[in-house]
Amino acid sequence: MTPPKLKNPLALSEQQRFLLLAILIGVFAGLLVVCFHITIDFISWYSLGALSGKYRFGRLIAPTLGALAATFLATRVFPAARGSGVNQTKAALYISDGVVPTSTVAGKFLACSIAIGSGNSLGPEDPALQMGAGVASLLGRMFRLGRKNMRMIAPVGAAAGIAAAFNTPITGVLFVMEEVVASWTAGVVGSIVLSAVSAVVVIRWFLGNDPLFRVPVFELTHPSELVVYALMGVAGGLLSALFIKLIEVLRARLEKFPRRTELVQALCGGFFVGLVGLWLPEVMGAGYDAIDFAMHDRFPWNLLLLLAAAKLLVTLLCFSTGIPGGMFAPALFIGAMLGGGLGGLAHHFWPFPISSAGAYVLVGMGTFFSGVFRAPMTSIFMVFEVSGSYSIILPVMIANTIAYFISRKLHPEPFFTMLAHQEGVDLPSAEEYRSTELLRVEDAMQPVPSGADLARAPRIYPDVPLDSALRLLGQHEMLRVASRANPTEAIGILTLEDIHRAYGIAENYF
């Protein structure tokens, strides 16, 4: 007879393993993002020579060849790596039970580092997010996580990837919670936070504590400036809606061309970037250096507006022609330049004292981001986290919220949802999820009929979602709706029929 097995006191529950795994995912994602950054910079140095005048001709050749090579890799060698990282992470969450093909990581790494390093107007954050999700998925599979945890592993990795790419842990966490995971539990939030923090620790360990930008001191010079910031939000909202629309239209048109033209399209996109880069090298690559310069008032307002327009155009072409890379950095660039340009313009015409254009660059950065990605909280906290200035919160909140609502009004379909639809996938939109009206008991209950025997009916509160009520009705015919102020007093009843009726009435909501 074998002795009974004693439970190992050090054995971890699946939830505990999941949390530990989140740290590990953060470390791996952080390391990958460090290598990714370095590779992009190396490619940029050797192809563009730090964009100095000495290598002017390289600005035309590098993005053209880079676009060709990167698109070849993404379409022919690593086809799984095509498309938006956010949508692929959502697909892992909602469709493929957390599985992100490992080849995606290699594909994104190689293709995007070539595309961005050679000067194409795209950013490294979305690929970093997807690489994080890919690494997380791989680790989840290695440790054979259960289906429920496995589904959540990709967002955990995505948070690590984006936090490492921006070097901002709060932004990483918020973006994933706001855009990828529409509903979350304490365990999921804990894992996302752990992975984001550990990724940022790794990034800072290897690349130092230097922030993304050297942010100037911000202060609100005059209360009337808030009006200028609001106008900036309006401009950001209008431009972001236009940008989404243009991408939608151009992508749809280009998709109609035969598949064999993909490389030619990318070649044209890269060539156009190079052509613009000959005169405006600031628009090439992610463009963080240019944002940094703009923050320190290095560009006049008219050049800032020109850069915003040029960047919008080249990003539109790069993205629509299928060159692999992300949209976050270009969105920040366009918003920053637009904000700086409007701030500079206000300097000439605004009748009250006004802050330097650098402050407007900083605030403007979030407006376009908020309008395009429909992640207002992320955009607010990102600017706050990058600037480290509490006084910036008020203008950022005003500008970003206005941009968000205007963009949403003019182009109701969010950017990532639009991309998913064009790719033939129907993914839930976090924004739509948040906007959906949740039906509660109070929406379906009816008054207590006279003489009703409620003694055996279980109690439920009016603010409880109908889904929860439905579970209870599996075992009981009727529920007693009670006020939280006086739980013994019945204020109504709820039956299965009431719920059916409520959902029937609410059909038009969905």
Partner 1 sequence: MTPATTRGAAISVAASLVLLMTITGFLTRAYYTTRSSRAEALYQEGMRLAGAGHSAQAADRFRAALVYEHNSEKYRLALARSLMDLGRWDEAETHLSELSEDDPTNGPINLMLARIAGQAHRDSDAVLYYQRAIYGYWPEHPIENRTSARFELIGIFKRDGQPRQVLAELLDLAAEVPEDDAATRRRIATLLLTNGSPDHAAEIYRAVLANDRSDGAAEKGLGDALFDESDFVGARNAYRAASRDGLEDPTIEDRLKECNTVLQLDPTLVRLSANERFDRARQLLDLTSAAARQCTALPADTDAAAQKLMQEKPSRRRDGDTVEMITLAQQVWKLRHDACAQPAAPDEALTAVMAKIQKQMAATQ
**Cα(351)–Cα(249) distance, rounded to whole angstroms?**
41
Only one of the segments 26-34, 372-380, 445-453, 470-478 lies at the binding site for partner 1 (rule: CB under 8 A); that segment is 26-34
Instruction: Name the minimum Å distance from CB 196 to partner 1.
Output: 18
Output the smallest distance, CB 65 to partner 1, in A.
Answer: 21
Q: Is 50 in the site for partner 1 (CB under 8 A)?
A: yes
CB of 415 to partner 1, least distance (A): 31
Number of residues that bind partner 1 (CB under 8 A): 33
DSSP state of 459: E
Q: How far is the CB of 50 from partner 1 (least distance, A)?
A: 4
User: Which DSSP state fits 492?
Assistant: E
Span near partner 1 by CB under 8 A; candidates 87-95, 123-131, 202-210, 368-376? 202-210
CA 499 – CA 491 distance, rounded (Å): 17
CB contact at 8 A, 126 and 328? yes
Three-class DSSP category at 438:
coil
Of the CA atoms within 13 Å of residue 114, those in its CB half-sphere come to 20
Residues 114-143 interacting with partner 1 (rule: CB under 8 A): 139, 142-143
Joined tokens for residue 361:
């660059």
Instruction: By CB under 8 A, tell whether 35 contacts partner 1.
Output: yes
Q: Does 194 bind partner 1 (CB under 8 A)?
A: no
**Alpha carbon of residue 14 to chain centroid:** 28
468-484 exposure pattern, b = at least 16 Cβ within 10 A, e = fewer: ebeebbeeeebbbbbee
Question: 209: which DSSP letter?
Answer: S
Out of 5, 54, 147, 256, point to the residue binding partner 1 (CB under 8 A). Answer: 54
H helices present in 13-55, as ranges: 14-48
Residues 285-304 as x/- pattern, contact with partner 1 by CB under 8 A: ----x--x---xxx------
Closer to partner 1 at the Cβ: 46 or 509?
Answer: 46
385 is a contact residue toward partner 1 (CB under 8 A): no
462 Cβ contact list (under 8 Å, min separation 6): 440, 441, 442, 445, 481, 483, 491, 492
> Segment 140-159, which members bind partner 1 (CB under 8 A)?
142-144
> In the bound complex, what is the minimum distance in angstroms from residue 357's beta carbon to partner 1?
11
User: Judged by CB under 8 A, does residue 27 bind partner 1?
Assistant: yes
Q: Closest distance between partner 1 and the C-beta of residue 451, in Å?
A: 58
Of the candidates 286, 295, 371, the residue with the CA atom closest to the CA atom of residue 333: 286
Return the structure tokens found at 49: 């020579």
Contact stretch for partner 1 (CB under 8 A) within 51-59, 330-338, 341-349, 378-386? 51-59
Tokens 């109070």 belong to residue:
442
Question: How far apart are alpha carbons 35 and 21 in whole angstroms?
Answer: 21
Three-state secondary structure of 238-277: HHHHHHHHHHHHHHHHHHCCCHHHHHHHHHHHHHHHHHHH
For residue 34, state whether it binds partner 1 (rule: CB under 8 A): yes
51 binds partner 1 (CB under 8 A): yes
- Residue 9 contacts partner 1 per CB under 8 A: no
Residue 72 interacts with partner 1 (CB under 8 A): yes or no: no
Alpha-carbon separation of residue 71 from 26, 260, 261, 270 (angstroms) = 28, 12, 11, 10
Per CB under 8 A, does 23 bind partner 1?
A: no
Q: Who contacts 370 (Cβ-Cβ below 8 Å, separation ≥6)?
A: 236, 240, 376, 379, 380, 400, 401, 403, 404, 407
Binding to partner 1 by residue 201, rule CB under 8 A?
no
Q: How far is the CB of 323 from partner 1 (least distance, A)?
A: 23
Q: Of residues 203-232, which lie at the interface with partner 1 (CB under 8 A)?
A: 206-207, 210, 214, 216-217
Edge to edge, the sheet with strand 459-460 lists 459-460, 478-482, 490-495
278 binds partner 1 (CB under 8 A): no
Instruction: Please report whether residue 31 would count as binding partner 1 according to CB under 8 A.
Output: yes
Residue 352 interacting with partner 1 (CB under 8 A): no
Instruction: Kindly state whether residue 49 participates in binding partner 1, applying the rule CB under 8 A.
Output: yes
Query: Can you point out the beta strands (E) in 370-442?
Result: none
Of 18, 28, 301, 384, which lies in the binding site for partner 1, with binding defined by CB under 8 A? 28
Min dist. Cβ of residue 34 to partner 1 (A): 5
Least distance from partner 1 to the Cβ atom of residue 144, Å: 4
Closest CA to 373 of 74, 128, 85, 81: 85
Nearer to partner 1 (CB atom), residue 7 or residue 260: 7
Most distant CA pair in the chain, distance: 93
* Residue 257 dihedral angles phi and psi, to the nearest 5°: -70, 155
In the complex, the smallest distance separating the C-beta of residue 8 from partner 1, rounded to whole angstroms, is 9
- Tell me whether residue 27 or residue 316 sits nearer to partner 1 (CB atom): 27
Q: Does residue 437 interact with partner 1 by CB under 8 A? A: no
Alpha-carbon Rg for the chain, nearest whole angstrom, is 26
Q: 492 - beta bridge partners?
A: 481
Least distance (Å) from partner 1 to the CB of residue 56?
A: 10
Q: Which residues bind partner 1 (CB under 8 A)?
A: 24, 27-28, 31-32, 34-35, 38-39, 41-42, 45, 49-54, 139, 142-144, 206-207, 210, 214, 216-217, 289, 292, 296-298
